[in-house]
Amino acid sequence: MTEETQDELREKFARAIQLLCFKHHMEPGARTWELRHALGKNYEQILEALQTELEKFGLTIKRVSSGGEAESDRFFVTLRESPPLTTARTYGWRVDEMGMLAAILAQLLVRGGKAPLKEILQVLEEKFPKFRIDPAIEKFIRRGYLSQDEEGMLYIGWRTRAEVDEKTLLGLLLGKGKS
């Protein structure tokens, strides 16, 4: 890093944590250009140093590609390991919502990342009450786990790509255990 003082580095660490941990424009984390603007052109070095500190707490910084230019990639803080079920429930998730998300992701993963919403609804209605399905899907879309286009197709969302180990999920669903 450059010849920055300890106070300047501490300030940049604090600013980076604020950007990465809190919601901006309804989504957690910060985009590349936001980090560069707030932390300076050496933002990647600051993130690397911060990553080392976060690992001590079981956290990691994830970068999710937007599919377009690198300036719009999103960085945010997430858990390094999958949380145990008892802990996941304290994050505001119902067990049936977690089951629905797993079922939806399984359907999307075996279909190349997209499927018609109607087909997903048919699968879910076999196992879950209808009055729970629609709000859950809206929640998944709002939080970035799924996305939907105007034609009624569901896609894997940016947050799923960042937080879910797709291979492990499919392995667990197929009974193969963690790989």
pLDDT tens for residues 19-64? 888 776 667 788 888 899 999 888 999 999 999 999 999 898 988 8
Q: How far is CA 88 from the centre of its chain?
A: 14
CATH topology of domain 6-79: Arc Repressor Mutant, subunit A (1.10.10)
174/166 Cα distance (integer angstroms): 12
Question: Which residue stretches of the chain have pLDDT < 70?
Answer: 1-4, 24-26, 66-67, 83-91, 177-179
79/2 Cα distance (integer angstroms): 30
pTM equals: 0.69
Please name every residue paired with 147 in a beta bridge, in sequence order, or none if there are none: 155
Domain locations along the chain: 6-79, 85-173
pLDDT value, residue 90: 60
In CATH, the number for domain 85-173 is: 1.10.10.1210
6-79 and 85-173 agree in CATH topology: yes
* Both tokens assigned to 16: 């980076």
**Which spans in the chain are helix H?**
6-21, 32-39, 43-55, 85-88, 95-110, 117-125, 130-142, 158-163, 166-173
